[in-house]
Structure 1
């Protein structure tokens, strides 16, 4: 299995069980080893009292992109820490895009940067996620068991 095939199968396996991302209408538009891009349309139910996208939904999109990127090696990986900075609001009906990229990976620890953008290309938020690999795999590989 090539690294790209592994990343694709890991994303497919993970997405099938990810009710949070799928119920919010998130779609994986790109996956590769150490990186992922997800989109989410801002629904009316996601708007806060200012009629802009609630920061929790923006964070959820960024966190999901981070999760798919750091699990792309078929090694169970969880978030250890995340920090988000909101730059501009997300608007009703707008398609937001979160692009996660691996910036460092050593041993069981990884660092991923996520950029959330609006349809017009403006930066909505930036997030840095720290990951930790734990025991197990998303799917069996090379005779191993999940």
Structure 2
């Protein structure tokens, strides 16, 4: 399997078990070695008491993109830490796209940048949040090899 095929196979395996992302209406748009793109629409039930999108949902979208990006090498990998900077509020009906890109990967540790943007009415993208995630490989594989269960 080449690296692109491996990344897609890992994403498919993860997606089939990722009820949280699916139940929030996320869509996996793209995946490749060390990268992933997910989309989610801000629903009415995702708006907080200030009438804006709850930041926790924006974080969750970014975190899911991060998870898919750092699990593209067939190594079970989890978040070691993450932080987010909210740049603009989101609103009911906004379509958010989280793009995760690997910045560095050394040994069992990785660093990923995730940008969450929405498309403005004029067709340009507007960044609403920036997420920095650090990953740690736990050992083990996502894809079972022949003879493994």
TM norm. shorter chain > 0.5: yes
Q: Which residue of 1 aligns with 2:142?
A: 138
The yes-or-no answer on 1:84 pairing with 2:84 is yes
Show the counterpart of 1:26. 26
Q: Give unmatched runs, 5+ long, in structure 2.
A: none
The answer to whether structure 1 residue 10 and structure 2 residue 10 are counterparts is: yes
- C-alpha displacement at 1:71, in angstroms? 0.2
Distance 1:130 1:11 in 2: 19
What residue number does 1:123 align with? 127
Question: How far off is 1:144 after superposition?
Answer: 6.9
Separation in 2, partners of 1:71, 1:25: 21
Show CA shifts across 1:59-101 (max 9, x none). 0000000000000111000000001000001111111000000
SS at structure 2 position matched to 1:66: helix
Q: Describe the SS at the equivalent of 1:39.
A: strand
Q: CA deviation at 1:145?
A: 3.2
Match of 1:74 in 2: 74
SS in 2 for 1:122: strand
TM-score if structure 1 supplies the norm length?
0.96
2:109 is the alignment partner of 1:109: yes
After TM superposition, give the deviation of residue 137 of structure 1 in Å. Answer: 1.0
